[in-house]
């Protein structure tokens, strides 16, 4: 079996709800985020996933991701990993896109980066580290992390520059699966929030 990587974005927070760039600020889930994490966990414990026995689990150490992981029922199996932390937005931490555009018209994260934070090359290197780990053994992996780093991982899994991440949005508590088709890296499922529709 060729390895797959399952990507779970953390649940809703006050800042994700308001559109604020939340990099390293460690904020908890809202009640809606906890509900989403519970629904995601219930989904992953039913067929066809059936609890993902034998799947290696890692989580960003930031509270919103680790809390989503724990509520979903994978906390005891998960290993915290700094490579899964969100983009360090530097001077743009906590700002909305509108607030950033007022300072820097036409700004796009995936092309322009951020002042005093991580470079696009640094984020790409972390995404590559996660992809290499996911492909390193004959088993599936499940990660709980954040919107922009997961989009970067998706781009790099497909062999694309991380700027491709601008084209693949992710909603809170979404489930995505990256796998293989005809021997090539492929998207099996992306931004699936079907578990939220109950």
Catalytic residues: 10, 86
Rounded CA separation 97/56 (Å):
35
Whether 111 contacts 78, CB under 8 Å: no
87 is in an annotated binding site: yes
Is 86 among the annotated ligand-binding positions? yes
- 118 in a labelled binding site: no
Is 89 known as a binding-site position? Answer: yes
Picking from 136, 180, 171, 119, the residue whose alpha carbon sits closest to that of residue 150 is 171
Q: Where are the beta strands (DSSP E) in 100-140?
A: none
Q: According to the annotation, is 25 in a ligand binding site? A: no
Q: Is 56 known to sit in a ligand binding site? A: no
Nearest CA among 181, 176, 182 for reference residue 155 = 176
- 3 touches 132 (CB < 8 A): no
Find out whether 64 is annotated in a ligand binding site.
yes
Distances (CA, A) of 59 to 7, 21, 64, 73: 10, 19, 10, 12
Annotated binding site: 22-23, 64, 86-89
Annotated binding site for substrate: 22-23, 64, 86-89
């Amino acid at each position: 079996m060729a390895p797959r990587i399952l990507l779970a974005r953390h649940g809703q927070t006050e800042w994700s709800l308001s559109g604020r760039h939340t990099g390293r600020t460690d904020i908890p889930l809202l009640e809606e985020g906890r509900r989403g994490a519970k629904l995601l966990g219930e989904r992953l414990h039913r067929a066809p996933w059936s609890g993902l026995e034998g799947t290696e689990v890692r989580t960003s150490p930031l509270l919103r991701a680790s809390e989503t992981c724990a509520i979903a029922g994978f906390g005891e199996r998960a290993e915290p990993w700094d490579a899964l932390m969100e983009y360090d937005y530097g001077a743009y931490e906590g700002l909305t896109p509108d607030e950033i555009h007022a300072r820097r018209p036409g700004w796009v994260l995936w092309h322009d980066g951020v002042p005093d934070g991580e470079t696009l090359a640094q984020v790409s290197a972390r995404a590559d580290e996660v992809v290499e780990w996911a492909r390193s053994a004959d088993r599936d992996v499940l990660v709980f992390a954040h919107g922009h780093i997961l989009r970067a991982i998706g781009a790099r899994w497909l062999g694309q520059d991380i700027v491709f991440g601008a084209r693949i949005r992710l909603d809170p508590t979404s489930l995505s699966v990256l796998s293989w088709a005809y021997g090539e890296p492929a998207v099996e499922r992306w931004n699936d929030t079907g578990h939220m529709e109950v």
